[in-house]
Structure 1
Amino acid sequence: MIPVTSGWTPYCGAAPGPAELLSRWNADPVLLAALAAAAFWAARLPSDRRHFGIGAVALATLLFASPFCALTSALFSARAVHHVALVVGLAPLIALTLRTRTLLSIVPATIAGAAIFWMWHAPTVYGWALSSDPAYWLMQLSLTASAAIFWQAVFRAPPLAGVGALLATMVQMGLLGALITVAPGPLYAPHAFGPQLWGVSPLEDQQLAGLIMWAPAAALYLAAALLIAGRWLRGARQTI
């Protein structure tokens, strides 16, 4: 267990209570300008990529400009949802939008994505990420970029390799979630007080976060693996 402190000033602001949450929109002018520029660019893409780009901008707006951003300052469980949305929602949308050549082959992309995800969930590193805006954005951008490279590799890899990478990622995501769930005490100092505003203890909030990674998040990778496997099997039958 790490020391309890209230001196955290995350990018999304101090932890809100239920009564003030809906008023906590993020009006950061740099963020809003970046989202507007991205939306303008996405709207001008070819039709086969436009909807992925617009979807990515919409999801990024929800994650960083809506009151959900402030909720992640209060609840580690909300942060877990936020990070899952980055790596399983925003990242594949970015990969489908850009459709650039593969930056890493499937094995190093899988290892790099897992390593970066685990690194940012180490308690001391996570605490540092919420200590300043540059550290916060380093966490968000590295999680998203490494996951986008992973999905890019999955989409371009042979089906069996893609399925294997998705199943390996499912296992490591579930393992991290399990370790967080069964931890005997609170691990994340920035969320020592916020959960109490929502009527739960820091440990209960942490256990919920772990369960989110352990089951729903891991299941999303399994669903993607089954989708790719199903398409491959249908194609194999058609060639027989």
Structure 2
Amino acid sequence: MVEPYCGAAPLPAELISRWNFDPALLAVLGGAGLLHIWALRDEAPLGQNRRAVLAATGWALLVILLVSPLCALTSALFSVRVAHHVVLVAGVAPLLALSLPRRLRAAWIGRTMGAAFIIHTILLWFWHAPAPYAAALADPRIFWAMELSLLGSAMLLWMAVLSPFARIGATLAILLGSVVQMGLLGAVITFARAPLYAAHLGVTAPWGLSALQDQQLAGLIMWVPASIPYLAAALALVASRLGRPVTADESVR
């Protein structure tokens, strides 16, 4: 059996030692993170630059997901893998989207919201289907295709949602649609009557869970906690629009 990118499933006693010091990964994370923050230097002093803080937070989360022992734990527990994906698409993605330099945030991105939602939804369901998921754990190249496509599509979705040119009605519909589709995926995983993910059979017991219990926990994570960032964004958007006058341009949208 081929080991996942994050290594074989760890036992509880060895988890703390299972850091991922892949040189290529460290070089990419360090280089891309520094370039991102450096690109923001002209907008404000870095110590007072809100975008730089958001960027640093996003890249720090990526380090936690891919370098810390949590990476190894995803090989044992599908619930941790799902939590990893939730943080990736609903935590890292909006942070990086919000922290992009202004010159890179194209004004027309708000008009691509529907396409971004469809692409991200398809990818999210695809990579959580048993066969593509198994392929991603068996081949590092497919693993990175999964990670990068989920992060990239989520960033496009958040860039569209957070665009100042997006219509509030469409934005709220997309945010609520995201909650619904993730809830449906979570329900499918939660109510499956048998374990769906062969890679986690026989490796969850040391963590006090059967494969089915681990899968049910994963579904609940996808169903409930995953919806919080999208609902919070919708509430923040409504609050911001209620807190300022409506312009003539917005009144005719």
TM-score bracket, normalised by the shorter chain, equals over 0.9
- 1:1-240 counterparts in 2 under 5 A? 7-44=1-38, 45-46=40-41, 47-98=49-100, 99-101=104-106, 102=109, 105-156=112-163, 157-236=166-245
Alignment TM-score, normalising by the size of structure 1: 0.92
The question of whether the paired residues in 1 share the 8 Å contact of 2:29 and 2:59 is answered with yes
* Aligned-residue offset at 1:42: 3.5
- Counterpart AA for 1:121: H
Structure with more relative contact order (C-alpha pairs < 8 Å, separation 6 or more): 1
CA distance in 1, matches of 2:62, 2:168: 29
The question of whether the paired residues in 1 share the 8 Å contact of 2:175 and 2:230 is answered with yes
CA distance in 1, matches of 2:162, 2:237: 9
The change in CA–CA distance for 1:104 and 1:119 in structure 2 (over 3 A counts) is: farther
CA distance in 1, matches of 2:10, 2:203: 7
- Counterpart AA for 2:118: I
Range moving further from structure 2, 40-49 or 85-94: 40-49
The change in CA–CA distance for 1:32 and 1:154 in structure 2 (over 3 A counts) is: same
Range moving further from structure 2, 138-147 or 46-55: 46-55
Q: Which runs of 5+ in 2 are unaligned?
A: 42-48, 249-253
**Secondary structure of 2:194 counterpart:** coil
CA distance in 1, matches of 2:24, 2:239: 43
Kindly, what percent of the aligned residue pairs are identical?
A: 49
- Counterpart AA for 1:11: Y
The root-mean-square deviation of aligned C-alpha atoms, in Å, is: 1.8
CA distance in 2, matches of 1:68, 1:104: 37
Runs of 4+ more than 4 Å apart: 236-239
- Counterpart AA for 2:65: L
The question of whether the paired residues in 2 share the 8 Å contact of 1:87 and 1:148 is answered with yes
* Aligned-residue offset at 1:231: 1.2
The question of whether the paired residues in 2 share the 8 Å contact of 1:163 and 1:226 is answered with no
Alignment TM-score, normalising by the size of structure 2: 0.88
The change in CA–CA distance for 1:104 and 1:68 in structure 2 (over 3 A counts) is: farther
Q: Which runs of 5+ in 1 are unaligned?
A: 1-6
CA distance in 1, matches of 2:50, 2:230: 24
- Counterpart AA for 1:197: P
